[in-house]
Amino acid sequence: MAEALKLELVSPEKELASRLVKQVVVPGTEGEFVAMPGHAPLLSTIKPGVLVISEISGQETRYFVRGGYAEMANDQLIVLAERAIPLKQLDAAEIEKEIRWAEEDLEDARDDEERRKLQERLDFLKQLKQALELGH
């Protein structure tokens, strides 16, 4: 059995990680799972949450991920995330302020389409806040 797992973490904006790691905790829609060397082949959709990468050095790197797919095969995990943001880049106070503004904007929405877009933004911000709370 291999001692390391090849990880590819990609979002539409860029490749975030491409390296050998010890294991990765993935927030799958059917439940969180731990991908590690020797893991059975698997294809899963991703729910909003925290993806935790355990480095070979023992350090952990955490990302907020929202949507996408994870595929595990042959000691390689490929994560194609709709959004992926390193948790260390998130500021709780700034997110809280953005949530308040989004709630105010939603109250002032003029039509259904604007309301839908604003609700989507508010949901995303709340998911970020929750991920930050769970990830620390």
H-run or E-run covering 97: helix 92-107
Sketch the domain layout of the chain as residue ranges: 5-87, 90-135
Residue 104 dihedral angles phi and psi, to the nearest 5°: -65, -45
Answer yes or no: is pLDDT of 27 > 70: yes
Q: What is the pLDDT of residues 70-114, one digit of tens each?
A: 999 999 999 999 989 998 888 888 889 989 999 999 999 899 999
Structure-token match 């797992």, residue found: 5
Confidence grade of residue 3 (pLDDT, cut at 50, 70, 90): confident
Distances 121 to 16, 74, 90, 103, 112 between C-alpha atoms, Å: 23, 37, 16, 10, 14
Q: How many CB atoms lie within 10 A of CB 9?
A: 25
Confidence grade of residue 1 (pLDDT, cut at 50, 70, 90): low
Answer yes or no: is pLDDT of 135 > 70: no
CATH architecture of 5-87: Sandwich (2.60)
Query: What is the pTM for the complete model shown?
Result: 0.80
Q: How many CB atoms lie within 10 A of CB 63?
A: 25
